[in-house]
Amino acid sequence: MAERTLGWIQNPSNTKTLQNIVSIFNPNSKFTDFLLNSKIPLIRSLGKLHNEDEWERYIEHIKSGNNFPYNMLKGKGSGNGGRAFAPCSGIIQAAIEARIYLSLSTTPPSERIKKPYSDDWTADGFLRWAISLGFIDYDAESDTCSITELGYRFSKASSKDEFNDILGEAYLHYPPACRVLNLLLNGNQLTKFEIGRHLGFTTEAGFTSFPQNLFVQAIVENPSLKNTIKSNYEGSSDKYARMICGWLCEIGWVTKSNKKVTEIAGDREYTTTLEAFNITAIGRREFKRSIGTSSVRQIPKIVYLEMLSTKSEDRNYLRRRRAEILSYIQGRYRTDNEIINHLKDKGFNEDSSAIAEDLRGFVNIGLNISKSSKGTRLNDKIICLRIPQQKSVDPKSEVLQIKERVRPHLQSLDMDYLKLIDLAYEGSANLKFEITTIDLLTNELQFNGKHLGGSRKPDGIIHYNNQGIIIDNKAYSKGYSLPRAQVDEMARYIRENQSRNQEINPNKWWSEFPDSTQTFYFAFISSFFTGTYKDRLAEISKEYHLNGATIDVENLLYIAEGLKSGKLSYERFFEMFNNDRIVYTC
């Protein structure tokens, strides 16, 4: 089977373009006629069709409206000029106009030619959107797409009211939209961060949400970098929340407003205005349709297998496990032991903490889960969930094994921080790893501190009473060996903190420590550590007369649980800085 990511949409937002994409599957639609007789000939005249013989086959497919192979719709992204200027190689690429010009920027404006087609990434986004809303059906076995009855109706919608009514019906089939409506129903003026932190499988790196207080702190303290911060300080779940709210605003179920927020970060208070969302009376009424009432038939929910995990290395394992649970609890109460035994029959060896994590995730993706003394039940009817038949279960990765070791110990600490394990092992997630670490230490524990990052600054600092720590985070999948460059960088931070000379470093990052902080430590935090890291710690300590430590992500979570529960004192924690790896057992 092909590897697709369905069910979670971050970028497409133009619903008219969405209708055009769906209309491709209806050979009698006006847009299909436009595509065949105007758009494709225009792209051909510019010499931008990839492989003319292949396109003849594509055109016959459009005329017949048969099942479309996914790659025929999406196309390819390669090209000498990069993705943006690659030839048009997919049907949906041809259906979407780009916002760039084919001509060089030096060409006079009057002679520039707007690119009449898009790229494979944009095409894929719109296709996944159409599938996720139920306009297009996707068959994973054959990797093909076909139009549904709802999609056929959408392709023919002409009036604005009809268009919006069909969109609304589609959104009620889409669990994440129902989750957003439910959160807004129970909240008041929620920002994307307040929605995002409760959206998706929040213990995974594929569903990150940035702490609102750290975002507000960054905006208030760096007004000149506001646009950059807005771009970088947004987790995947925050993007999903923002996108879904935008769709619902368009059909009048949700409204946007400005919200004055005051947040505490560290020992300071910050106030700014953020965009927020409210549910309307129509939205409230329509949400009732998603769960069904005595007088309203319940609307089935579209749940593709691919929706049940995204970025995790173990996504195939997690998708199958979660699909088996959903199938088993649909319409009938099951106890945890019954679920565990059912999974065992399917080849999965899990404990009750894994079941609890998945059940919470089902609620966060928008499914109607109820619990009672009889067990847990899925009240929704779900469609499109096809569980692949495999002879054996995929082995668990090292990352998943660590999460399973840690999870049962998290009694006081929020389970969402399990995502730190994913982030620590994901080489491209340094910023998210840094911010989530500071979030853990300052929002869950009693440390004050701040994420710093950027040029000539440590990744973060924390302090408690009169003691402070300079932190360096590194996300590495194969462990961190404390290379010489990083040792020298930490040594520089220590020197700057000791001298506090603005002429050496004008950004004065050390001023984030209060004057009462008199004793300092340094810490390297990563997935795990390799090589001669102990010698490197001793080297820094000997030269600058302060102690440091390495903390792997597993022990970081054990330490946080100990501090949060009170089993580990803050005084004892600082005593653990002894120029070695800190090991703590809950």
Catalytic annotation, residues: 459, 472, 474
Specify whether the CB–CB gap between 570 and 419 falls below 8 A: no
Determine the Cα–Cα distance for residues 307 and 545; give it in Å rounded to an integer.
52
Determine the Cα–Cα distance for residues 290 and 354; give it in Å rounded to an integer.
28
Determine the Cα–Cα distance for residues 19 and 442; give it in Å rounded to an integer.
46
Q: What are phi and psi of 536, to 5 degrees?
A: -70, -40
Specify whether the CB–CB gap between 261 and 273 falls below 8 A: yes
| CA proximity to 574, closest of 514, 518, 499 | 518
Helix, strand, coil: what percent of the chain each, to 5? 50, 15, 35
| CA proximity to 312, closest of 387, 206, 196 | 206
- Tally the C-alpha atoms within 13 A of residue 380's C-alpha that lie toward its C-beta: 27
Instruction: Cite the DSSP H helix spans in 141-235.
Output: 149-156, 160-173, 175-186, 192-196, 212-221, 226-232
The DSSP call for residue 506 is T
119 burial class (0-12, 13-18, 19+ CB within 10 angstroms)? buried
Q: Which residues are within 8 A (CB) of 189 and not within 5 positions of it... i.e. 6 or more apart?
A: 257, 259, 276, 277, 278
Identify residue 471 by its one-letter amino acid code. I
